Structures are given as structure tokens and as C-alpha cells.
A and B are shown apart, each in its own frame.
Chain A
């Protein structure tokens, strides 16, 4: 069952589920593109993330009840099969300041952490928090470590972090609480580009160790 709740007076939040799950993400992206095709009156823009979709609307054109009705009409009528694109390689220098501490927490050697992190394909679940920040999953259980007790005030652009079952890439310098294990030279955010970000939800990527 989809749940629709107001997010203030000009947005609705549609929750399709409560888990980090590729199928749910597929459904979110399918709803997003169905709304993009149908363009219900007053819908201004959408923001997908994990298991939900935020829908901004113009209250001068529509209202929460009308937009909710046109969203719920789509339940059971969308094709949730995600179209998989190619896997993007992210060249990664595994020299992050938290690599040793992650190794300690996971009973692995630093080389073992690298092998496990780099040895698989990840799905992009969300671009959010800060411009271009790319949330990916899922990490193997064994690499799951908690966030830092106190976040860093400055994390450099390109830093690659892990937290819980997720790994992510900081696209711009920002504060951050994830365990930093490496860094990439790939530019994930460029305000002059269209689109300004390298990844979108549903993309797949792989971290390639470089020296």
C-alpha cells in the first residue's frame, strides 16, 4: 500500500515501502517516470529516494487532495522493472583516514577491506544530502560499521565513505559522518553540466582500486 502524506503546504510525500531494497527503488523510479509522462496538473517537480517520492506542487493550480488522487490512481498500474544501464567504473585510491579503523572494527586487514569494498557492483539509491552526494548499496554485512561518533566538519570532494550497509561518494566538500576509506578523482558534481550530477538513482557503479 502506498501512503501519501503532506510535506507542508506545497509537497506530498509518497511512501511505497520502508526498506532499502532494489525492487522498491524500481517502483519509486517507475512512479517518478509515470508522473513525468502524465504530468498531473500543478505537479512541479519530484525527488526520488530509496522507498519514497516527494512531489512538489503549485498550490495555485492544484491542491493536496487532488494531486494525491491522481498519484494513487497509478498504484498497481506501473511497470516497476528497472532498466539497467551499464556499470560505471569509479577509480578509487583506497587511502582514506578511516581505513585502518574500519579494518580493526571488521576484523579484516586494510587490504581485505579494499578487496571486499571494490569486489562488487553497487546500485545508486539516492542522490541527496548535499549536491551530488551519491548513496549506494548494499555493502556486505561484514563491512557494516557505524557512523563516526562525531562528524568531521570538512570532508573533501571525491571522498568515499561507508556507514551501515551503505557506501557513498561526497561530490562536494561538506561536513560528514561516514567512515572515509578512499577517494576518487571522478567529478560527480559540475554546476555547468547538464545534468549537474554524474549519477542518478538506478545507476550502477563499481569502485576500481588505483594506486
Chain B
């Protein structure tokens, strides 16, 4: 068992989420920084879909009642070693502390966090208040069970720096134009990609509100449509909301562009005040970006 001694700011159980249920209004969810989560599992020898803890801004303190192997990835823990296997002895504690640079740290434990599957996933769904073991973020006093370790051995060395995504901005984020590009004036996307957008404090797993000084996009209204993670919605007043993993499944604000899957991981680490610049790309470049990052996961240490 792992005892939650201090829960941190907002710590939830996440895995790869529950894609395919959007038609019921249920977001896919899962780890916001999918790349850091996969690497954390890889370091401890877990399968890619093992559940882990996603910590936000300030991480938890955990006490282990048995020997364990853990790994922290993503945003940097200021109190523990990052991106490497941590051998934890029975009775000792792991403190994540403040997270910087980056916003979200992932804690994988060999064997995975074992909470019940709900609708095919262990992820906490904030919009529906279910999953994640408790139907809420973890709290002080919670006890987390771990599953049985798989056959893959933990890594013996740190994850190479050359195979990590940047932990701090400014962020260049690639977008595919649309799907509601025709709700905007012709030069709107060009003006957006020429603007340094600033991340506001209004950010969570559902979406990030960005400030765009000097840019005022005026879209037409649309009939409510299905929305994907990464959609850059523009509100009638010209505000920008980039939907993330726990996004609403439908929306009434048109999306001028959609962040490619590979780069959703970058936005998961963006902090208030950071700068985001969007760059318009085609499908071929999105495929190359995905292959490049997933290729890092297949290399042999």
C-alpha cells in the first residue's frame, strides 16, 4: 500500500483514458502529458496503459509500506530526482514538492496504481466525478494499492535528455487548420500564428484560456458541433480556449485550428504567463511529429 501523507495541489489517478465514449458526453481523459506518462511507466517497467498519479503545480508526499520502484517524469519535482528509476525502501517516503519547470509531474510505481476500472479506464473524470479510485482527486489519508509487476524490468539508467520534450516555454505548438476555419475572415489563421499568445491562470485538464494581446478574431456563430482535444476555440469576444484531454465533447464556439496530438503534451506543461506560438502544419508534418516522439519510446537503452 501507498499512503497519501500529503495530497499536493491536485493529484489524480490517470491512465490512457477512455477514448470512444465521446458520444455519451464522456471525454477521453487520461494523462494530460501523454508522453511523460508513457515514459514514467517505461522507466519502472510497466505497460504503457498502467495507471499512475498526475500531480499539478505541487505534488504529494507518499509513504510506502513495501519496497517499490518509482519514477517521476514531466514537470520537474524540486524535491526528488526526475526521469530515472527510484528505489524506495519499505517505510520510507517520496516527496514531490513544488513542480518547476513544467506544471504536471507523473509518478509511476512499478505494478501500476490499482484502482477499479470504470468504463474501461482507471482515470479520474472530473466532468463526471467518477473513476480514479475515489471519484475525486486523492486526499490525505487515502491508501493506494499497486498491481502485480509485469515482466519488463525497470530501466537501470536515467531516461536520456535527448529523448524528452522541453519542460519550459516558450512553446511552439503545431496546429492543423480548422475544422471551422470558414467561420473566420480569410487572414485570421495567419494573424493567429503571428501572435505570441500568453497562458492565463485559467488552465485545467478541460482547457487552457490564452490571452492574445492585439489580436481580435471575430468568428461567425456555428451550430453546436462535436469537438476534439486540441481545438482552439474562439469565443464571440475573441478569447481563445484550447481544449485539452477532459474537454467538452461538443461546443458552440468555432475552432480556428486544432493542436496536433504530439503537441498536446507540451500544452500540459504550460504555466500561467508562458508564451505559446502556434504554427500551421499539414497532415504529413503531424504524422512525422508523432513518429519522431513515439520513436523515442522504442529505442533500446
Chain A contact residues, CB within 8 Å of chain B: 5-11, 13, 15, 18-20, 44-54, 56, 59, 63-64, 126-133, 135, 171-174, 189, 191-192, 195-197, 200
Contact = CB atoms under 8 A, between A and B. Distances in A.
B48 to A, nearest CB: 15
The 7 closest A-B pairs by CB, nearest first: A128-B250, A54-B226, A8-B258, A9-B286, A5-B179, A131-B128, A47-B226
A192 B286 CA distance: 36
Given A50-B223, A131-B125, A191-B119, A9 B20 contact: no
B130 A191 contact: yes
B228 interface: yes
Contacts, number: 146
B21 interface: yes
B176 A50 contact: no
B20 A196 contact: no
B287 interface: yes
A196 B249 CA distance: 15
Interface of B: 19-26, 118-119, 125, 127-131, 176-181, 222-231, 248-251, 255, 258-261, 283, 286-287, 290
A147 B180 CA distance: 23
Contacts of A49: 224-226, 250
Contacts of A173: 129
A45 B174 CA distance: 24
B127 A130 contact: yes
B283 A191 contact: no
Given A13-B225, A131-B128, A7 B287 contact: no
B130 A128 contact: no
Contacts of B223: 18-20, 50-52
- Most chain A beta-carbon contacts within 10 A, residue among B20, B24, B177, B260: B24
Contact of B226 (A13, A133, A189, A192): A13
Contacts of B229: 8
User: Which one of B22, B222, B225, B260 has the highest number of Cβ atoms from chain A below 10 Å of its Cβ?
Assistant: B225
Contacts of A128: 22, 25, 224, 226, 248-250
B255 A129 contact: no
A54 B23 CA distance: 9
Given A46-B23, A129-B250, A171-B25, A135 B128 contact: no
A131 B25 contact: yes
Contacts of B224: 49-50, 126, 128, 135
Contacts of B290: 9, 59
Given A8-B230, A45-B22, A128-B25, A174 B225 contact: no
B121 to A, nearest CB: 10
A123 to B, nearest CB: 14
A131 B261 contact: no
A196 B225 contact: no
Contacts of B286: 8-9, 59
Given A128-B224, A129-B249, A47 B231 contact: no
Given A9-B290, A132-B24, A52 B226 contact: yes
A189 B26 CA distance: 10
B228 A54 contact: yes
Contact of B178 (A6, A10, A63, A129): A6
Contacts of A53: 226
B176 A6 contact: yes
